[in-house]
Homo-oligomer: A and B are copies of this chain.
Amino acid sequence: MRRTPEPQDAGGTVAHARPAALDAHWRAANYLAVGQIYLMSNPLLTEPLRPEHIKPRLLGHWGTSPGLNLVHTHLNRVIIERGLDALCVWGPGHGGPAVLANSWLEGSYTQTYPDVTRDAQGMAKLFRQFSFPGGVPSHVAPETPGSIHEGGELGYSLAHAYGAAFDNPDLLVACVIGDGEAETGPLAASWHSTKFLDPVHDGAVLPILHLNGYKIANPTVLARIPEAELDALLKGYGHEPLHVTGDDPRKIHHTMAKAMDQALDRIAAIQQTARTGGARGRARWPVIVLRTPKGWTGPATVDGMPVEGTWRSHQVPLAGVRENPEHLAQLEGWLRSYRPQELFDAHGRPSPEVLDCVPEGHRRLGANPHTNGGLLTRQLPAVPLERFAVPVDKPGTTLHEPTRVLGALLARIMADTAGRRDFRVVGPDETASNRLGALFEVTGKAWQAGIVGTDEHLAGDGRVMEVLSEHLCQGWLEGYTLTGRHGLFSSYEAFVHIVDSMVNQHIKWLKTARSLPWRAPVPSLNYLLTSHVWRQDNNGFSHQDPGFVDHVLNKSPDVVRVYLPPDANTLLSVAEHVLHSRDYVNVVVAGKQPCFDWLSLDEARVHCARGAGVWEWAGTDDGTHDPDVVLACAGDVPTQEVLAAAGLLRHHLPELAVRVVNVVDMTRLLPHQEHPHGMADFEYDALFTPDRPVIFAYHGYPWLVHRLAYRRTGHPHLHVRGYKEAGTTTTPFDMVVRNDLDRYRLVMDVVDRVPGLAVRAAQVRQTMADARARHHSWIRAHGTDLPEIADWTWTG
């Protein structure tokens, strides 16, 4: 963060010198916020307010708006005064009217949406469009200039702020945290981000905890504990609190300016010390506690009930304005209390005094390029996959741990971005467990807390982020990618559900952002889901859930991509693709346990580009006619079982024409009208046939495949095996047996479904059933898999 010389003096002087201008800006923003909630026309109150000026549906959140306006006004001041490169994450993002008001005042709104001009006509549009059909959302959203944070669901503002600050050493990220949001788990955990932010290579986060005392209908916890207890809490999080408390508009600007200056001086001092090598121990970063009334400057009472300073001001304080003349008069008085005639000229343009504190160009909070991060994105360096691929002379005879192979590729990318610092890998304490340990040869794990002699790989400037909170991993990476940088989140498959709701919001963000021409595409958010459902030998049932794929596939097909590479080289190919993509949420499911290598790198590239294809070498289908049966598979364990089943069929029923199809990209199964990757019907029929039995071994819940393929001609012949919640702590093969996904069961399925088989087939079926019985008795006795399973290799 850059600053002008002698900031203490400058800060002090200016804060004292211009309170009237700051107040004018704040009043203007408040006026515009109220206008958006209520007015259809007559924006400047040039005539007395009448019912027809009022919107037919009153929607919006007033309560938090005056506080947000105050923060924005004072951020404006310090940005100019200190030449800051700053953005702000607005946690109480339902205060959309406030952030929109400020963007309009500073001109970034008109720059983004030229039809909403900075004059009376534009003001009328600004008011009318707010929370109006076809207009703009009532919350801070992708449509809002200067935002990287959707204001709907609460809990993620501070994690987003940290994500934006990482590897942006010259950036200040202010973050307003509502006291409602502060009760959520993700926010409560986010405070500990202080142990992961490097004052040398990262920017600064300035949290502003806004205690206006109430959420929708209740007081908030943090506003109702004694101040000493709150201070203890914030110090316990690693912060130094600065308090701004007030309900007198005449005094607040002074207190607020002083606290801002103290906070920024402290930040500058921390950074200077750290960057000149003088730092001893972890920094205690400032936090501002801003305690002002909810709905401040709004109606004190309505219909005899207290409103200002209570939860009743949360949304629309005066609800009956169109019908109730008293409410209408109260609204007019409220609007005029801001003295709009002093704030806007006759054409509705903000007065010079109002604009006195407003920065210019990219310094405006609504126009900082970091908030439209795709503008700053650099393509990741190209890395030759050949260096990392495993040699495959013959399929199914060698084993590799796919994620370990991927780890080497990630390490190379990490090394190649060492100077640029625009790539991070996050995960909940599982990077090594997920066999991505090669990363630690080129970077450390970010860590600012204490270090002891036996620790390994901890480093202040590390770019692997490990914390036992999926919420933090997700929030940090969202903030990091929305500000234009690259990353990967590696997680145990089952526990990624912890962030289901966060990923919902991120997908919604990307979907909307893609429709806005002014938003540049940002790097995709990439998941590596490993330690998956089939290999929880140690952890069992609680760690078995492959449903994240189902969850994301409910979301916008424009954004969502799902890949199940069956081996090491296909994982490399998929990883290369997703890391270079933009504006997607990519879910990659891959195992960390030794897994057969099926395809060479060249074959893997072709196969992954197709997304699904026939493995001719694995089947007995001569390609001239449709086969008798299709064995399809998606995922590493199902692929192994299907290949083993194909081997058994080749041995026991050699006359049967078996086609083996492997699916890497699950969305290929969707109709092409439903997803950009979907196959046309002719492609699907060519691959799966329109009328032959298809036995599909799928990694996750079997009905997902039906949900994707139900419109296909051949759907009545589709029979899917997958995980059906039959889990426990057991061996790998016992898991597939319990879920009827094992090779023997698949062969039995073939016998059951292919018509007109030789009489001998019944005998083959019995042989398979016997093998399953042998498995059951063996495992009870030995606790391990049958030797013929453990030693199996492909011999086709």
Q: Residues of A at under 8 Å CB distance from B?
A: 55-57, 59-60, 94, 131-139, 141, 150-155, 180-181, 183-192, 195, 215-221, 224-226, 229-238, 306, 309-310, 315, 429-433, 445, 447, 449-452, 454-455, 458, 466-472, 494-495, 497-498, 500-501, 504-505, 508, 511-512, 537-543, 545, 547, 550-551, 554-556, 701, 703-704, 706-707, 710, 715, 725, 728-731, 734, 779-780, 782-784
B500 in contact with A59 (CB, 8 Å):
no
CB nearest neighbor in B for A779? B133
Cβ–Cβ < 8 Å partners of A306 in chain B: 454
A229 in contact with B218 (CB, 8 Å):
no
Among A55, A183, A187, residue most surrounded by chain B Cβ atoms (within 10 Å): A183
B56 in contact with A221 (CB, 8 Å):
no
Prevailing SS type, chain A contact patch: loop
CB nearest neighbor in B for A512? B541
Contact of A500 among B458, B466, B551, B730 (CB under 8 A): B551
| Alpha-carbon distance A783/B454, docked complex (angstroms) | 65
Among A185, A454, A540, A550, residue most surrounded by chain B Cβ atoms (within 10 Å): A185
CB nearest neighbor in B for A780? B134
Cβ–Cβ < 8 Å partners of A431 in chain B: 217
Q: Knowing A138-B538, A232-B232, A729-B138 touch, does A472 contact B185 (C-beta < 8 A)?
A: yes
A219 in contact with B455 (CB, 8 Å):
yes
Q: Knowing A185-B188, A185-B471, A235-B236 touch, does A138 contact B59 (C-beta < 8 A)?
A: no
| Alpha-carbon distance A555/B266, docked complex (angstroms) | 52
| Alpha-carbon distance A508/B540, docked complex (angstroms) | 11
A501 in contact with B511 (CB, 8 Å):
no
A545 in contact with B504 (CB, 8 Å):
yes
- Write the nearest CB–CB distance from A510 to chain B, whole angstroms: 12
Among A181, A449, A543, residue most surrounded by chain B Cβ atoms (within 10 Å): A449
Cβ–Cβ < 8 Å partners of A703 in chain B: 554, 707, 710
| Alpha-carbon distance A537/B133, docked complex (angstroms) | 9
Cβ–Cβ < 8 Å partners of A471 in chain B: 184-185
Q: Knowing A59-B538, A466-B218 touch, does A729 contact B131 (C-beta < 8 A)?
A: yes
B779 in contact with A134 (CB, 8 Å):
yes
Cβ–Cβ < 8 Å partners of A512 in chain B: 541
- Write the nearest CB–CB distance from A237 to chain B, whole angstroms: 7
| Alpha-carbon distance A615/B673, docked complex (angstroms) | 34
Q: Knowing A56-B784, A538-B59 touch, does A229 contact B221 (C-beta < 8 A)?
A: no
Contact of A498 among B429, B469, B501, B706 (CB under 8 A): B501
- Write the nearest CB–CB distance from A784 to chain B, whole angstroms: 5
Q: Which 6 A-B pairs have the closest CB atoms?
A: A233-B236, A152-B542, A185-B185, A188-B188, A224-B449, A497-B501
Cβ–Cβ < 8 Å partners of A57 in chain B: 537, 731, 783-784
CB nearest neighbor in B for A59? B538
- Write the nearest CB–CB distance from A102 to chain B, whole angstroms: 20
A468 in contact with B233 (CB, 8 Å):
no
CB nearest neighbor in B for A150? B542
CB nearest neighbor in B for A134? B780
Among A469, A710, A715, residue most surrounded by chain B Cβ atoms (within 10 Å): A469
| Alpha-carbon distance A244/B15, docked complex (angstroms) | 49
A133 in contact with B730 (CB, 8 Å):
yes
7 A-B residue pairs with Cβ-Cβ distance under 8 Å, sorted by A, are: A131-B540, A137-B728, A155-B185, A183-B467, A229-B238, A310-B454, A706-B710
B189 in contact with A224 (CB, 8 Å):
no
A139 in contact with B539 (CB, 8 Å):
yes
| Alpha-carbon distance A310/B451, docked complex (angstroms) | 12
CB nearest neighbor in B for A222? B192
CB nearest neighbor in B for A140? B542
B184 in contact with A135 (CB, 8 Å):
no
| Alpha-carbon distance A713/B184, docked complex (angstroms) | 47
Cβ–Cβ < 8 Å partners of A215 in chain B: 429, 468
Cβ–Cβ < 8 Å partners of A783 in chain B: 55-57, 132-133
| Alpha-carbon distance A455/B467, docked complex (angstroms) | 39
B235 in contact with A229 (CB, 8 Å):
yes
CB nearest neighbor in B for A727? B508
Cβ–Cβ < 8 Å partners of A226 in chain B: 450
Cβ–Cβ < 8 Å partners of A494 in chain B: 153, 501, 504
Cβ–Cβ < 8 Å partners of A233 in chain B: 232-233, 235-237
Cβ–Cβ < 8 Å partners of A187 in chain B: 185
CB nearest neighbor in B for A156? B185
| Alpha-carbon distance A710/B153, docked complex (angstroms) | 34
- Write the nearest CB–CB distance from A397 to chain B, whole angstroms: 25
| Alpha-carbon distance A498/B467, docked complex (angstroms) | 19
Among A231, A466, A468, A469, residue most surrounded by chain B Cβ atoms (within 10 Å): A468
Cβ–Cβ < 8 Å partners of A191 in chain B: 188
CB nearest neighbor in B for A715? B710
B539 in contact with A138 (CB, 8 Å):
yes
Among A134, A186, A729, A730, residue most surrounded by chain B Cβ atoms (within 10 Å): A729
- Write the nearest CB–CB distance from A722 to chain B, whole angstroms: 11
Cβ–Cβ < 8 Å partners of A195 in chain B: 221, 224-225
Cβ–Cβ < 8 Å partners of A180 in chain B: 429, 468
B59 in contact with A542 (CB, 8 Å):
no
Interface contacts beyond A137-B729, A141-B540, A504-B545: sample of 16 additional A-B pairs, CB < 8 Å, sorted by A = A135-B729, A141-B542, A152-B539, A152-B540, A153-B495, A216-B430, A217-B466, A218-B458, A230-B236, A236-B236, A236-B237, A494-B504, A550-B554, A551-B551, A706-B706, A707-B710
CB nearest neighbor in B for A503? B497
B216 in contact with A433 (CB, 8 Å):
yes
| Alpha-carbon distance A508/B542, docked complex (angstroms) | 7
- Write the nearest CB–CB distance from A552 to chain B, whole angstroms: 10
A189 in contact with B192 (CB, 8 Å):
no
Cβ–Cβ < 8 Å partners of A429 in chain B: 180, 215-218
CB nearest neighbor in B for A556? B725
Q: Knowing A232-B236, A542-B141 touch, does A56 contact B782 (C-beta < 8 A)?
A: yes
| Alpha-carbon distance A512/B231, docked complex (angstroms) | 45
A181 in contact with B468 (CB, 8 Å):
yes
Cβ–Cβ < 8 Å partners of A229 in chain B: 235-236, 238
Contact of A497 among B183, B220, B504 (CB under 8 A): B504
| Alpha-carbon distance A554/B153, docked complex (angstroms) | 24
| Alpha-carbon distance A539/B137, docked complex (angstroms) | 7
B232 in contact with A555 (CB, 8 Å):
no
| Alpha-carbon distance A185/B184, docked complex (angstroms) | 8
Cβ–Cβ < 8 Å partners of A445 in chain B: 218
- Write the nearest CB–CB distance from A115 to chain B, whole angstroms: 15
CB nearest neighbor in B for A452? B219
Among A151, A306, A429, A731, residue most surrounded by chain B Cβ atoms (within 10 Å): A429
